[in-house]
């Protein structure tokens, strides 16, 4: 019974945040989750590496880079795989696309 009450309280809290229309989370703050907390302008909600398909996962708001060194497609230096199963030339390009990282290296 205590477990059920705790679960109900957590859901009620999450829903109150989601429905309150409150301010967006800032860089370094938690985002996503059951409450679908959004990040501010120029940011995206980055999930922990390798957690692409986990429902209601909480992430962290990170700033989207404005430009990347070696951003040309021909300059693939350290490829990473995004949660969208697209290979990015480097981690900065992945972040510019606002995509969380599945793993280092090319997608397979």
CATH number at residue 84: 3.30.60.30
Flag whether the pTM goes above 0.75. no
Question: How many whole angstroms separate alpha carbon 100 and alpha carbon 102?
Answer: 7
Does one domain contain both 12 and 52? yes
Say if residue 38 is in the same domain as residue 57: yes
Q: Are residues 10 and 52 in the same domain?
A: yes
How many structural domains does the chain have? 2
C-alpha to C-alpha distances, 36 to 14, 19, 30, 94, 95, nearest whole angstrom: 9, 10, 10, 22, 20
Tell me: do 3 and 53 sit in the same domain: yes
- pLDDT for residue 54: 87
pLDDT given at position 80: 95
Q: What is the pLDDT of residue 25?
A: 72
pLDDT at 39: 94
State the residue range of the domain holding 108. 65-108
Residues 59 and 80 grouped into a single domain: no
71 and 40 share a domain?
no
Tens place of pLDDT for every residue, the chain, 108 residues? 566 444 444 454 444 444 444 567 778 899 998 888 999 999 999 999 999 988 889 999 999 998 887 656 556 578 999 999 999 989 999 999 999 999 999 998
């Amino acid at each position: 019974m205590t477990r059920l009450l705790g679960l109900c309280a957590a859901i009620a809290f999450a829903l109150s945040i989601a429905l309150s229309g409150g301010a967006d989370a800032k860089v370094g703050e938690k985002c996503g989750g059951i409450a679908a907390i959004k990040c501010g302008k120029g940011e995206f909600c980055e999930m922990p590496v390798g957690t692409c398909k986990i429902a209601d996962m909480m992430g962290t708001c990170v700033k989207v880079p404005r430009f990347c060194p070696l951003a040309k497609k021909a300059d693939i230096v350290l490829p990473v795989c995004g949660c969208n199963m697209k290979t990015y030339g480097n981690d900065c390009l992945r972040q510019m696309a606002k995509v969380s990282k599945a793993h280092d290296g090319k997608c397979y």
